[in-house]
Structure 1
Amino acid sequence: MRPQKVQDEEIITSLVKSFRSHGYEGSSLAELAKSTGLKKASLYHRFPKGKHEMAVAVLDYIEEWVDEHILKLLMDDAKPPVDRLIKVLDEIRISYDKGNETCIFRALSLGQSLSLFDAQIKKGMNTWIIAFKTLGLSFGFDEDEAQKKAMNTLIKIQGSLIVTKGLDDLKVFENTLNDIKSDYLKT
């Protein structure tokens, strides 16, 4: 068997970039092949169900990354909540390239594609809320306040990414992360 010229993780990260840039509907097979450096036939060999299977693989990859770099940190009771919060905000900053990147949830929820991925998107967002609620409880907030802060955190992150792009101003994203930090530190 011939060795693969492009490794699987490289393919998935290239697909992530393409879907983030063009959305699901805007990512043609030609664009996806170009972004991965593969021919269309090679993409179909790896993803026989086509673009939908590629997007599912991207969501699975993002879910694993978030689990490892965000959720496990937020829920690690062995570390002080302040340390968890600071580390997670740094990971979020890296994940979205300081606000330069679009959220994959947004990219895959535009137009008709929402119906294709709604279960995975809901699961992902609910997982963020649960993890940030856990962090809020660690800071000593009651259930309702921890839930409210978690929901607001998700809204702030998602909203700031859109506003950052719309205004072409990375300070919006950075200021939002600082606001989130302040929100949790006001105990």
Structure 2
Amino acid sequence: MEKDILEGLTKVFREKGYEGASLTDLAEVTGLKKASLYHRFPKGKQGMAEAVLRNVNNWVQENVFSVLQDETLPAEDRLKNALCQISVLYTGGKQTCIYRALSMQAGLDLFAEQINGGMQSWITNFKKVGLALNFQEDVAYEHALQTLIEIQGALVTARNMKDSNIFRQSLQKIENRYLNRI
């Protein structure tokens, strides 16, 4: 049930952002009464958003970063597998990134540290795969930073243009850039 609650909260925050998500929306999607939500999340909506961030960050750690760090696989396979998992995370570009959803208006002040830490983890882990592909340290960092920028930008663009091909093409370009196919 906890998983269902977090998935419901994530859905609302992704769709409406922190400011736009009402307690009524959050209660409705979880099937809980507002009092039950406050019992589970004593910090209210902020606590719910923090739980969502932790849950998404844990999923990314288990399904993306652990793949990028798996030295039993060739670096090329790690990269390809991680990009596939990123596609799963964002439903092929149809989902809003939770960082974006929670970094608007008041959410930016409330969650800046967690979002920054999460983004730094993306850069760190993609840099490691770049190093494993024998890139110089500065090139590995630039590729990693560009990967984060491209994923975020492609998500916004794909959603606004209602064209998930934009996201898929961006993931392919990231793979090509890392594997020197561009």
TM over 0.5: yes
| The one of 27, 32, 38 aligned to 2:32 | 38
Root-mean-square deviation (Å):
0.8
* Selected match of 1:182 from 160, 171, 176: 176
**Aligned-residue offset at 1:157:** 0.1
2-side partners of 1:9 and 1:175: how far apart?
31
Separation in structure 1 between the aligned mates of residue 154 and residue 144 of structure 2, nearest angstrom: 15
The correspondence of residues 24-173 of structure 1 with structure 2, limited to 5 A, is 24-173=18-167
Instruction: State the SS of the aligned residue for 1:55.
Output: helix
C-alpha distance in 1 between matches for 2:62 and 2:48: 21
Distance 1:79 1:127 in 2: 20
Q: Shift in Å at residue 41 of structure 1?
A: 1.2
Give the TM-score taking structure 1 as reference length: 0.95
**SS state at 1:38 partner:** coil
- The TM-score with structure 2 as length reference comes to 0.98
Aligned with 1:21: secondary structure? Answer: helix
Unpaired segments ≥5 residues, structure 1? 1-6
Provide structure 2 residue ranges, at least 5 long, that are not aligned to the other structure: none
How many residue pairs get aligned? The number is 181
Residue 14 of structure 1 deviates from its aligned partner by 0.7
State how far apart, in whole Å, the 1-side matches of 2:31 and 2:79 are.
37
- Shift of residue 42, structure 1, vs aligned partner: 1.1
**Residue identity matched to 2:75:** P
Q: After the TM superposition, which parts of structure 1 deviate over 4 Å for at least 4 consecutive aligned residues?
A: none
1:101 partner SS: coil
